[in-house]
Amino acid sequence: MHKIPVTVITGFLGAGKTTLIRHLLQNNQGKRIAVLVNEFGEVGIDGELLKDCQICEDEENPTSNIVELTNGCLCCTVQEEFYPTMQQLLQRRENIDCMLIETSGLALPKPLIQAFRWPEIRNGATVDGVVTVVDCEALADGRLVGDLDALLAQRQADPNLEHETPLEELFEDQLACADLVLLTKSDLVDAANLTKVKDWLQTELRSGVKVLPCHQGKMSTDVLLEFNASVEDDLVNRPSHHDLEEEHDHDDEINSVQIVTNKSFEPQQLIQTLQTLLQQNEIYRVKGFVNVVNKPMRMVIQGVGTRFDTFYDRPWLTDEPRQTKLVLIGRSLSQKYIQTAICQDF
């Protein structure tokens, strides 16, 4: 039987991975696509957004091709989480044309790809390519990797200078694995900064890796699929900061806070509260579903940096509770403090 080609979608928190996959599923050109989503935190937001696309092939079980893992960062739980899940999917591979794996924004791509060398997986699937999604506006503003000009000046002055933070190392590892880099939110950056971001990225990428702008996740399947890269056999050309380590550790201070409440919110008031929390805490990402006062539709909220985007994705179902579910990811976040701040004024 054929091997399932797997495209790994990686990238930092809030870069736009789920939006990209959602658009791809809705414009799948007849391909039967399975999706494995890795969330950071116990409340699954991205997986539910993808399941609500309503495009899966199995009419009796319309979400069977979308699998959600929420028990830990995928690159840290390959054996416990990824292996048994892949075994189950491979048993149905005659009904799957290709697979997408959306990693958590905190995941290193290389440990996941190395799992495709295991005989039990290697015989049924191959990593067709790695797509790294990058927030162009954030990068242009000097976030994630610091000030671009200062970083380039430091490296030119002393190429051996060790000045990376853990998040910078993660970002560089995601770029090192890439077969393609997609720049999201590039429409929010002027031409000079867009050129600067592209030029800097090319210094970080392997020769031949393209950087393409991607607006609202709209990218053809012809671009995202069929790289034929057999990435698991090419890891020597994709160096990682962790290649010499037997095990790797994430920054232990990075955590997630989940808020689940029956309270309803006014969108602007909620965003103002979240903006205040952003000023008081080191928060990288906000996402979730909101029960809006007197609205029959569920609101999706996504925030990165100081910018928040919202849209209504579907009506509330008659048999589901109208709950607000939020996930905040950052450094040393307090569940009690954040829950009090969000819920006390409503």
Give me the mean pLDDT over the 172-197 stretch: 92
- Interval 260-285: pLDDT, tens: 999 999 999 999 999 999 888 888 77
Domain extent for 191 = 4-237
Is residue 269 located within the same domain as residue 198? Answer: no
Tell me the pLDDT band of 305, cut-offs 50, 70 and 90.
low
Is residue 272 located within the same domain as residue 214? Answer: no
Is residue 144 located within the same domain as residue 274? Answer: no
* Per-residue model confidence (pLDDT) at position 249: 47
What is the CATH classification number for the domain harbouring 95? 3.40.50.300
- For the chain, how many helices (H) and strands (E)? 12, 12
Is residue 228 located within the same domain as residue 283? Answer: no
- The number of folded domains in the chain is 2
Look at the chain and count its residues.
Answer: 346
Closest CA to 106 of 253, 276, 260, 277: 253
- Interval 213-251: pLDDT, tens: 998 888 888 888 888 888 999 988 888 876 655 444 445
> For the whole prediction, is pTM greater than 0.95?
no
* Per-residue model confidence (pLDDT) at position 69: 54
Is residue 134 located within the same domain as residue 280? Answer: no
Q: Which of 192, 210, 237 is the last residue of a domain?
A: 237
Higher pLDDT, 122 or 43: 122
Is residue 9 located within the same domain as residue 103? Answer: yes
Is residue 44 located within the same domain as residue 186? Answer: yes
Residue 16 lies in a domain: yes
Q: Are 127 and 101 in contact (CB under 8 A)?
A: no
Q: Using CA atoms, how far apart are residues 330 and 308, in angstroms rounded to an integer?
A: 16
Residue 242 lies in a domain: no
Backbone phi, psi, residue 212, to 5° = -120, 140
- Interval 131-172: pLDDT, tens: 999 999 888 888 774 344 544 554 455 444 443 446 778 888
> Would you say residue 7 has pLDDT above 80?
yes
Q: Using CA atoms, how far apart are residues 267 and 292, in angstroms rounded to an integer?
A: 7
Residue 77 lies in a domain: yes
Q: Using CA atoms, how far apart are residues 339 and 346, in angstroms rounded to an integer?
A: 12
What is the CATH classification number for the domain harbouring 258? 3.30.1220.10
Is residue 16 located within the same domain as residue 69? Answer: yes
Q: Which of 203, 237, 271 is the last residue of a domain?
A: 237
Is residue 99 located within the same domain as residue 170? Answer: yes
Is residue 229 located within the same domain as residue 260? Answer: no
Is residue 10 located within the same domain as residue 122? Answer: yes
Is residue 190 located within the same domain as residue 64? Answer: yes
